[in-house]
Structure 1
Amino acid sequence: MPDSDLGYEARSALRASRFVAPEHPDWDSVIRIPTDDELREEEERDKKRAGVRSLRALYAGAGSVSLQLRDGEITIEAERHRGHGHWEGIPGIKPTILPESVSDEVLGAAVNAALEVSRNA
């Protein structure tokens, strides 16, 4: 996806998101950790959608980033795949922090760069 398109979509997702603290009434429905059965069902749907038969094939070449918009700054953090659909931060890799006013092209380029770091972690 071109940087400008990815930046536009990332910004749209950030604007549509919200932070839910533990005391918020929606906490359980938003943050609840899925059961093992729910995770397996989701993985099966993902494999079917991707046309693959194994989790290894599903996650081959995949990357993940965490995006956060807070106090006028966008934080982009590359994550590494830890198996079974779990992702975590990458030790030694600092997040990229950009002003919220950054252009879609610059935002998209930073997301693509973080995805490349994630894929190679």
Structure 2
Amino acid sequence: MFIKEFSQKTGLTIDTLRYYEKEQLLIPKRTDKNYRYYTEKDLCWVELLLKLKETGMTINEIKQFSALQEEGDSSLLDRTILLQAHIKNLNEQRSNLDNTIAFVEKKIEGYQERFMKFSDFK
């Protein structure tokens, strides 16, 4: 599929696709006339790339992961280690977020209790 269709399928702008290509995160095939041509493999890769980005993985980490992926099966261990480190970071973020949510909920409870006491005096 050409860039316009690929853009529509991925939800990414053409400029974003070109940026990913410039950063060597996405390397589409080229036709005889030098048009970009994307495959289902590219679509799968972009889906993974977007998930990694969505979870807070930096562009540099994604580049590192991408380079490892290009190496093929010989880099499976390195990719696994990179993703395990990322999951550990995500779990720490989730724990911090859970603690923050619990703190805010306690604050709300305290305000509600004070409000109820204040309302009783009226």
Same fold (TM over 0.5): no
- The structure carrying a bigger strand percent of its residues is 1
Return the structure number with greater helix share: 2
Q: Mark the structure with the bigger radius of gyration.
A: 2
TM-score w.r.t. the length of structure 1 is 0.26
RCO greater where, 1 or 2, for CA within 8 Å and sep 6 or more? 1
Give the structure-2-normalised TM-score.
0.26
